[in-house]
Structure 1
């Protein structure tokens, strides 16, 4: 005899919309506490849930919440991320300017990116809504959604913040890193430059995800000259501003800094999250891979910024990253890397950002 819970799961395929709504609403907590009930009968409940994404928005809201939570299970994740028909539905719905569940769809996409083969999304194409003003490449549409959708300006019900966790996971793959540093034909813009403006955004999700994405893209060493060129990606101001506070530098140091770092207001605050600060420091560490980059950072007085940051932020990860970066900037270029003054240590390994590798739950 089926249990009461198993019967409830069976009701999600009921012909009555009202019964489906009641069943789905009551099943949401079980997607966290008893996820295996949705994998019964060779994933039949999952199959039904995927169809209900297109149901009444109120039902779809609960369905998406359940799928977001269930995607923490590796088997469910594979089932969702490898279903091309389901993915086409998700991608077509998330881009609609009047989609009420766009934020939940963004969260689900971010979780699906945990499946390595999901990087094939780079080649995916679909007709864009005319309101989006994008081209038929899905990645360009998602990027434009993230940018134009901030503050609810594209869809009054969504800010698309969680798409940035999708970008952060995708940029762990070399092919996707290349996408972010290539000028796109339809608008003549390099995708990473669309993200850099959010390093000081009020949304913690945006700041954290953008920092991780920039860091992961910085593993593409051939793109470093473009990263640093003022007339190209010009990433330095956007990485340095979040880690600088209201410190006072001596006149010689201040005058040599990047224009964006000069004459900051006295109430300037650095990012409140030490993990975001550490991520930006690790991006700078990656950019010290070439002599040209190290010389540029010295000339624009990156070291004093790091020196003051090291004094002001009492966090082990930040302190460690400050010391490694200072060592790279202060070392004698004629010698092999050696320990610099002030107790700074040699540069350690910097790994792909895993901070956003956690599945979102709602």
Structure 2
């Protein structure tokens, strides 16, 4: 005999609208605690839920919520991510300026991006939503949703913040990193990462965290480091090697507070980082701070990267960040960055300034290379 819950799941495809609505509403709570309930009969409830997102508004919203919750299950995730028709429906809906569940779709897409198969969205062309974009590429359209749709500017029902998590998950894959760091010829040679990096100081915590995670994942793509580190403007008349993303200000500004720096510290510092307002606040979320510090660490994996970080005076910024935080994780991340960018290169003298803190006058005590092989600088070619 089926249990009451199993009977309730069966009502998801009932012909009576009110019964479907009651079933979906009551099952929302169980979608987090009892995922196997939705995997019965070869995922039949999942198939029902895919149809219910086209149903009346209250039913559709609950169906989206259930799908978001149960997509944490690997089997359900694969079923959703590999369904081409379902993906196209989500893309069609999220790019519609009147879609009431656009934020839920963004959350579901972010979950689906954890499956390898969703990399195909990077090579997917579809009809152009004329009110939103000029591009036939699905990824460009999602970028436009995120950028143009902030704070309800495109769709009054949505802010599209959770698409930042979608970008972060796609950036875990090589194809995703390549897309985000490659100038797009069809888009005036704009580098996609430049469209979202400007949100590292946005009011939305979700945006800031998702964008910081995206940037960190992109920084694993070492061949793109010259483009990421360059502050040359994106000029469609210049060949791609001459185009820069100017990423560093967007990583460093969240790490900075209202501190004043000496003339020696500011000489060579990026213009965007000087003369900040006296009420400038440092990022409060320690996970976001650690993500930015890890991005700096990744950008220092080549000598050219370390040279740039030294030249623009990243050290004083990290020093002040270290001094003004009590979180051990952030302090350790600061230590790691300093160990790398201020350690001597082969044939050079030690280059860590005094006055950073601690008994030794330094942020951390450097280890001899013989003491710890992990402390050695190894260039990534």
Q: TM-score, normalised by structure 1?
A: 0.92
Structure 1: segments with no counterpart, 5+ residues: 350-362
- Match of 2:201, SS state, is coil
Which one of the candidate residues 260, 264, 275 is aligned to 1:263? 275
What is the match of residue 199 of structure 1? 200
Q: TM-score, normalised by structure 2?
A: 0.87
Q: Is the 8 A contact 2:180 2:191 kept in 1?
A: yes
Q: Is the 8 A contact 1:68 1:108 kept in 2?
A: yes
What is the match of residue 125 of structure 1? 125
Query: Is structure 2 residue 32 aligned with structure 1 residue 11?
Result: no
What is the match of residue 22 of structure 2? 22
Which one of the candidate residues 305, 309, 315 is aligned to 2:321? 309
Query: Is structure 2 residue 44 aligned with structure 1 residue 44?
Result: yes
Distance 1:335 1:86, change over 3 A: same
Q: Which has the higher contact order (CA 8 A, sep 6+)?
A: 1
1:49 and 1:176 mapped to 2: Cα distance?
A: 29
CA RMSD of aligned residues (A): 1.9
What is the match of residue 356 of structure 1? none
Q: What's the offset of the Cα at 1:27?
A: 1.1
Q: What's the offset of the Cα at 1:235?
A: 0.7
Q: Deviations over 1:183-212 (max 9, x none)?
A: 223322210000110000011111111111
> Counterparts in 2 of 1:1-362, with a 5 A limit?
1-188=1-188, 189-231=190-232, 232-335=244-347, 341-345=362-366
Distance 1:306 1:299, change over 3 A: same
Distance 1:304 1:339, change over 3 A: closer
2:26 and 2:349 mapped to 1: Cα distance?
A: 60
Distance 1:348 1:95, change over 3 A: farther
What is the match of residue 236 of structure 2? none
1:338 and 1:15 mapped to 2: Cα distance?
A: 76
Q: Is the 8 A contact 1:147 1:194 kept in 2?
A: yes
1:324 and 1:33 mapped to 2: Cα distance?
A: 40
What is the match of residue 355 of structure 1? none
Structure 2: segments with no counterpart, 5+ residues: 233-243, 353-361, 368-373, 377-381
- Match of 1:199, SS state, is helix
Q: What's the offset of the Cα at 1:98?
A: 0.5
Q: What's the offset of the Cα at 1:130?
A: 0.7
Distance 1:116 1:338, change over 3 A: farther
Q: What's the offset of the Cα at 1:259?
A: 0.7
Q: Is the 8 A contact 2:344 2:351 kept in 1?
A: no
Number of equivalences: 349
Q: What's the offset of the Cα at 1:338?
A: 8.1
Q: Is the 8 A contact 2:319 2:363 kept in 1?
A: no
1:280 and 1:132 mapped to 2: Cα distance?
A: 31
Which runs of 4 or more aligned residues in structure 1 lie more than 6 Å from their structure 2 counterparts after TM superposition? 336-339, 346-349
1:239 and 1:339 mapped to 2: Cα distance?
A: 23
